[in-house]
Amino acid sequence: MNMDRAKEKKQGRDLGSDSIGRLMFSLAVPAITAQVVNMLYNIVDRIYIGHIPETGALALTGVGITFPIIILIMAFSSLIAMGGAPQAAIAMGEKNLEKAEKILGNCFAALLGFSVVLTAVFLVFGEPILRAFGASGNTIGYANSYMRIYACGTVFVQIALGMNMFITTQGFATTSMLTVVIGAALNIVLDPLFIFVFHMGVQGAALATILSQGVSAAWVLKFLLGRKTAIKIRKEHMRIDPKIILPVMALGVSPFIMQSTESLLSVALNTSLLKYGGDGAVGAYTVIASVMQTASLPMQGLCQGAQPITSFNYGARNLDRVKKSIRVLVLCTCTFGVLFWLAVMLVPQVFAGLFTSDQDLMTMTVWAMRIFLFGIFSMGAQMGFQQSFVALGQAKASLMLALLRKIVLLIPLIYILPAFFENKLFGVFVAEPIADITAALVTSVSFLTWAKRHLDAGGKRET
């Protein structure tokens, strides 16, 4: 038996029979660490930028305007990674390594193609896009300077984030964690060097980020082309096959919509906040969005840790282990959501103070944060159940639930609710908790109803 087969067999034994709790812990802790550290790529930028003397508040607001573009670039990596990795894991659970490698090769080729298109679009049309996203005359210079450099590193982001999921889904969680830790550590070192020592400002922050992502991308490729991986990137599998890539995109469209609609959401919020509260309100949302990432990314790490276990055992038709892995996941995400909600409600000034020393911006942020994040306790149920649909290959259900929170509920409420409040800013901010709690309830009921029919009864898989 060759090394790849031996590794696959060992992994199959682990995912198929080891203790769910220990196995999820061993996979989730590195995944959570990776998500938290990945968050530092953008959050460290914001922390340093927000403390630039004299211009920090405006520079932070300008960089905040670029969030929709950053989110959209990351969304395309999720379209492929979150669609391809579960499919590859299911194929491995079925002992079909050749199919898993075809999925990997097609996904790598697709990410390269997306990188070329996205880079061209944002370099050519970047400034008008940023103005449409809510940049004012005071902030467009900062936003454009950051975005043009960041766009040049799109290929690094696609590879580092997209291909890293294929390392995690094989059970190599520590290697996956190091992908992000190496890049983020480099970013933390380069940020102050470029921003303050070389006096490059927001351009230095962007340059530090893409250089760090480049190192992470090189690490991922080294692993997936090496001997330790159970499935390897092979040239013969990089020709796009519609029979492979279309099911991948059908499954990945749910997390893609979840992230890309975050981009639309940022546009809706930025333009509404600029209308009712000016640059100060947009700056407050920039800080709040960073704090919200602090909550969502660890929960995404938990979901990534659970995904190989759920997908592998679903492929192997071991439904008892599937159900147990989902129960443990949702318990963990809900517990984290409630604890984070308590921290934000009790000491919002601690979170706001990380990003700004401007007193006016601090006051606005503390007030808005308690309103905007009031429903964050429900995010654990929403994310845990929705991502379980993805891990189980349920593309239609996950897509509908991805559309619900942001497209059906939140974006319309942002424009409707200000008409019912004297304080228009309150109307904009309160849309978030209403949408969060409603979506969590619907998602929970939907998943539990589906599970009763298909997991308890041992029904057939649906795609």
**Segment 244-270 mean pLDDT:** 85
- Under the banding of pLDDT at 50, 70 and 90, the label for residue 34 is low
Largest CA distance in the chain: 72
**pLDDT number for residue 42:** 62
**Residue 160 contacts residue 179 (beta carbons within 8 Å):** yes
- Mean pLDDT, the chain, as a whole number? 86
List CB contacts of 220: < 8 A, sequence separation 6 or more: 159, 160, 163, 164, 167, 179
**Residue 20 contacts residue 12 (beta carbons within 8 Å):** no
Global confidence as pTM: 0.69
- Each residue's pLDDT tens digit, 293-319: 777 878 887 887 788 888 888 888 888
**Per-residue tokens: 191:** 């940020």
**Residue 88 contacts residue 230 (beta carbons within 8 Å):** no
- Each residue's pLDDT tens digit, 339-382: 999 999 999 999 988 888 788 889 999 999 999 999 999 999 99
- In whole angstroms, give the CA distance from residue 91 to residue 68: 34
What 3 state SS string does the chain have?
CCHHHHHHHHHHHHHHHCCHHHHHHHHHHHHHHHHHHHHHHHHHHHHHHHCCCCCHHHHHHHHHHCHHHHHHHHHHHHHHHHHHHHHHHHHHHCCCHHHHHHHHHHHHHHHHHHHHHHHHHHHHHHHHHHHHCCCCCCCHHHHHHHHHHHHHCHHHHHHHHHHHHHHHCCCCHHHHHHHHHHHHHHHHHHHHHHHHHCCCHHHHHHHHHHHHHHHHHHHHHHHHCCCCCCCCCCHHHCCCCHHHHHHHHHHHHHHHHHHHHHHHHHHHHHHHHHHHHHHHHHHHHHHHHHHHHHHHHHHHHHHHHHHHHHHHHHHCCCHHHHHHHHHHHHHHHHHHHHHHHHHHHHCHHHHHHCCCCCHHHHHHHHHHHHHHCCCHHHHHHHHHHHHHHHHCCCHHHHHHHHHHHHHHHHHHHHHHHHHHCCCHHHHHHHHHHHHHHHHHHHHHHHHHHHHHHHCCCCCCCCC
Residue 10 has pLDDT above 50, yes or no: no
- Each residue's pLDDT tens digit, 418-454: 999 999 999 999 999 999 999 999 999 999 999 988 8
**Segment 222-234 mean pLDDT:** 92
**pLDDT number for residue 15:** 66
Please state, as a whole number, how many other Cβ atoms lie within 10 Å of the Cβ of residue 152.
15
Helix axes 140-152, 56-65, angle to 10 degrees: 50
**Residue 371 contacts residue 346 (beta carbons within 8 Å):** no
- In whole angstroms, give the CA distance from residue 368 to residue 377: 17
Residue 33 has pLDDT above 90, yes or no: no
- Under the banding of pLDDT at 50, 70 and 90, the label for residue 458 is low
Please state which of the ranges 103-107, 184-188, 272-276 shows the lowest mean pLDDT: 184-188
**pLDDT number for residue 277:** 92
**Residue 272 contacts residue 50 (beta carbons within 8 Å):** no
Over pLDDT 70: what percentage of the chain? 91
